[in-house]
Structure 1
Amino acid sequence: MKEPISVEFAGRLRQYFKKGNVLMVWLWRLGLGKHINIAPRYAGQIMVLEHSGRKSGKRYRTPVNYAIVNGEIYCVAGFGPVSDWYRNIIANPQVEVWLPDGWWAGLAEEVLDADLRLPILRQVLIASGFAARLFGVDPLKLSDEELDRLTRDYRLIRIRRTVARTGEGGPGDLAWIWPLTTFFLLFLLLKRRPRRR
């Protein structure tokens, strides 16, 4: 029977993910969200979840793996109840999600129904690509009993989309950098070109 990863290893992975999350949000802001999700089988399906701090009220953006099941968005707090974003959405369930095909306001809720939890959790873990296997959970090979035991602390979240969003402050808000960068590099290339006499 497979054993869960150690607490120490999980803590180190959590720190690496936090650092990687900063880069992931920047890539989304640069308009690369669709490209990040180009190989979901390996890299996973990734969305950005925007939520409010439970104490500060400050807005945070957290990349998370997700799956769409029967039209609803599901994601997993793999670090369980210690995840800051999980605690934030429990305190304030009004969220926004950046998906490859759109930006939505929505309401988040934890899925507590035991009959729904495991089959949907398995689908989200499959959609996470390498991430689940990194934590010692292979949703394609584990029995229901093993999966339930290994993911007992995971929290399954359903997000019901309420309103399509547009405007400033969403995915791709920094995409203007690409034409500016291209122009600047072209200028440098032309400037460096040797002159013929």
Structure 2
Amino acid sequence: MNNAQRWQCKVCKKKTSAIPNKRQSTTYNQKRNDILPLFAKLLVNKNAISRTCDSLDIGVSTYYNKLEWLYRCCLEFLEKFETKAFSEKSFKEVYINTDKLYYNLNNVRKKGQGVKKYAGLEDNPVQTYVVVSADALSRYVFRADVAYDWEMTVEDLKLDTALYKEDHLNDFSKKNNRLDFSYYPQEPSPNDNQTQS
């Protein structure tokens, strides 16, 4: 059923199977592997997270675990098949269309508010950006960057580095860690006793 290789003993006729690897089974190491096709369909059709969880009878943590697993599968498919195919293929003409989109995240935390009104919580939605480049004829998406900030300048990065000392912070603490260059190189101060490493 899971495409695993099976063996049968010639004496006692007992059957056994080996645990399939990722290449043999797309549902390898998944507890709720029966929901994966419907999960992918709901995700592509832009179904809401709460509605998807209700339809599949799963929790939010399971939803995000499945989402991360599906994303890894897509990256593996891209690396295994499409990268090799495009390295050997040539195109006469390509019309690349790039769109920049703003969208607001509505992940407002209402837990712990009790019976109080939620006034003010939804007034400041988190705004983020997406840049997508695709071929207009084949509709093939070449690249999509989420949380892309096209309003950030080098001067803003230099100011943030000086204010928040981002060149001395871990990656998870940096304000601009989403960028390729998360801090502006600074000259060491007279009281800086850190080593070069």
TM interval, shorter chain, is: under 0.3
- Structure number with the higher helix fraction is 1
TM-score by length of 2: 0.21
With CA pairs under 8 Å and 6+ residues apart, which has the higher RCO, 1 or 2? 1
Higher-Rg structure is: 2
Q: More strand by proportion, 1 or 2?
A: 1
